[in-house]
Amino acid sequence: MLNLNKAVHAHLSVGQNQLQHKTGQTAFYQKLQVTAGQLALPELLFIIQQHQQQSGWVLLLAPNQLPDKSTFSGFDLDMSKVLVIQQKQISNIHTVLSDALSSSTCSAVVVWQDQFSESSLQHYQQLAEQHQTCFYQLSSDVAQAQSINPRIAVSH
């Protein structure tokens, strides 16, 4: 079984005030830089580990690659609380995201989306804070890479 404590500690020890100032992150919103076309396994492991003790789903919304539960089998994670909605099941990402952030059944919502309009992002951040649902935006937008949270390293 792999230990995620070092990854959690490394993430928390990053200068959060500096990141908050640069990216507009809040207590309920984080934008994480990921590699385009990849699953973002370290980020997902961190997010699932952070929320597995809370009531509610960890919703993976329109992942760029469909995660397989066997990928997570070597980690001490409760995957029964992870729900995946594929891109092909979504007719309007904005409606689904708003509904998920407003729902009392999600503890965290993870969306693979490079950019939102400023007004949409503010709306989502307000919903997340109002309903105390953590909102993670996984972005592969290279232009934003300088101001985004670094990748989270998972140690064995």
Please write the tens of the pLDDT for every residue from 59-105: 999 888 877 777 787 888 888 899 999 989 999 999 999 999 999 89
Helix residue spans in the chain (DSSP H): 5-13, 16-23, 41-51, 93-102, 118-131
- Please tell me the pTM assigned to this model: 0.75
User: Is there a domain that residue 154 lies in?
Assistant: no
Q: What is the rounded distance in angstroms from the CA atom of residue 41 to the CA atom of residue 22?
A: 24
User: Is there a domain that residue 19 lies in?
Assistant: yes
Structure confidence by residue, pLDDT tens digits, 17-59: 333 333 457 789 999 888 877 778 888 999 999 998 999 999 9
User: Is there a domain that residue 72 lies in?
Assistant: no
Q: Which residue has the higher pLDDT, 153 or 127?
A: 127
Question: How many domains does the structure of the chain reveal?
Answer: 1
Domain that holds residue 13: 5-65+77-147
Whichever domain contains 41, its CATH number is: 3.40.50.300
User: Is there a domain that residue 70 lies in?
Assistant: no
Buried b vs exposed e over 31-62: b needs ≥16 C-beta within 10 Å?
Answer: bbbbeeeebbbbbbbbbbbbbbeeebbbbbbb
